[in-house]
Amino acid sequence: MMRPRDIGPALLAASALAVLAATTGCQDPPPPTFNVVFHVESDPGIPLVGAVLIRDNRDVATSDADGNAKLTLRGTEGTSFDYMVRCPTDYESPTRAVTVVLRTMVDRNKPPEYPVMCPPQIRKVIVAIRAEGGQYLPVTYLKQVVATTDASGAATVLLNMRPDDQFELGLDTSAKGYERLRPQNPIQAFHVNPKDEVIPWNAKFSLEKGVVHHVAGPTGPTLIH
């Protein structure tokens, strides 16, 4: 019968490996991976490239030409992650984080999609002017001439404005020859919506009737020579 002190080094090493293998076999498998996609748009239907996803103060992904930023996350189902989005220059970044919750998908080829909006900070506003009876009138913005109506009284003004801005345009009738136009120097106020748009301005002018001066005739008999 072999006594404990007779166990050789080889047998001890084999025993240690067996214990290690048994211990390793009892460890939990690594958490599964989950694919998610952030889809970034500047306006509905317009993808935006260059938006950056941020987690724990680190940039982790950037949207491509299709507006997509793809992530592969590891964790157990139900785990949540918060991501901030930094939009490109001249676009408004969201102020709140986007929360991703890991869920097992039936079709792994269709990962869950998280929409993100980065609206432009500057909007294009086109004012289409139709001035009936107001041909060749200067159009003013901030006291500067920015367009002139044509022979039909039409003109177009393009401005780059911030959403919710207010602005005014005017039709200048101060030049000689326009004294009888009514109204004189009309002004129209506009409000900028959070989208690019075309705004109509329909103005109508009339001519003031000329003043007729009547000269009184003689009141008594007229002497005829």
pLDDT tens by residue, 2-49: 454 555 555 555 555 555 555 555 577 888 899 999 999 999 999 999
CB 66 within 8 A of CB 42: no
Average pLDDT, the chain: 87
Nearest-angstrom CA–CA distance, 16 and 28: 21
Residue found by looking up tokens 């200048």 in the block: 172
Q: Of 203, 141, 143, 131, which is closest to residue 166 (Cα–Cα)?
A: 141
Residues 6+ apart with CB under 8 A from 219: none
